[in-house]
Every structure is written in C-alpha cells, then in structure tokens.
C-alpha cells in the first residue's frame, strides 16, 4: 500500500508505503524499473495502479514506530524516519545489536 501519489515530491527517509514484513525496506521510488527481454509485454498491461492511501493525522500517529515521526505542514501530513540517511540508520542498528 502506497501513501504517496505519483506526482508527490519525495526525499530520503520519507516513508512512502507499508511493507508486508515487520522490517524496514529502503527503496528508491524515483528509479524506473528496468524490464528484461524475458518479460512478456502483455503481463505488464494487466497491472493496475492502486490509488494511494491518504493518512489523517490520527492515522499517521497510530502508524508510526519508535524510529519514525510525523511531519506536519499546511499542505500535507507525512511520515518519515527520525534519521533520514539510510547508512546512518544502518550503523545505529548495528551498534545497538553489539551493545
């Protein structure tokens, strides 16, 4: 489930959707998915885009975990990581496991 529409500007550390697993998945949503010759052109036609789920302030506050925060602006309510850089977050997790 995505939380952003296709024209929304995104930045590193911003939470753009919900993962079915319990751990976080870092993705670059701005990169185009490369197709190989092995894929059938008809298989791509049957996919449909599901509209994004727009979260209210209350829903966003219920959704976040301890390493996330809600960013509120006059135009939008966004969810993001407290530490935006993925490499810094990874080092912090590794340090926490060693301690």
Segment 90-94 mean pLDDT: 92
Domain boundaries, the chain: 1-34+41-99
User: What's the mean pLDDT when you consider all of the chain?
Assistant: 87
Please report which residue ranges of the chain form alpha helices under DSSP H. 41-45, 57-63, 86-98
Beta carbons within 10 angstroms of residue 17's beta carbon:
14
As a whole-number percent, the residues of the chain with pLDDT over 70 amount to 87
Instruction: Name which residue leads in pLDDT, 30 or 59.
Output: 59
pTM for the predicted model, two decimal places: 0.77
Tokens at 60, concatenated:
């966003």
What pLDDT, in 10s, does the model give residues 33-47? 777 666 555 655 666
Contact 58, 34 (CB under 8 A): no
Matching residue, tokens 């052109």: 41
Task: Report the chain's C-alpha Rg in angstroms.
Answer: 16
């Amino acid at each position: 489930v995505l939380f952003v529409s296709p024209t929304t500007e995104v930045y590193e550390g911003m939470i753009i959707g919900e993962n079915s697993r319990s751990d976080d998945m870092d993705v670059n949503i701005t990169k185009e998915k490369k197709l190989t010759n092995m894929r059938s052109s008809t298989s791509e036609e049957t996919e449909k885009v599901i509209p994004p789920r727009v979260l209210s302030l209350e829903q966003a506050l219920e959704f976040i975990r301890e390493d996330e925060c809600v960013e509120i602006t006059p135009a939008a309510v966004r969810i993001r990581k407290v530490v935006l850089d993925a490499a810094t977050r990874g080092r912090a997790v590794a340090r926490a496991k060693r301690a």
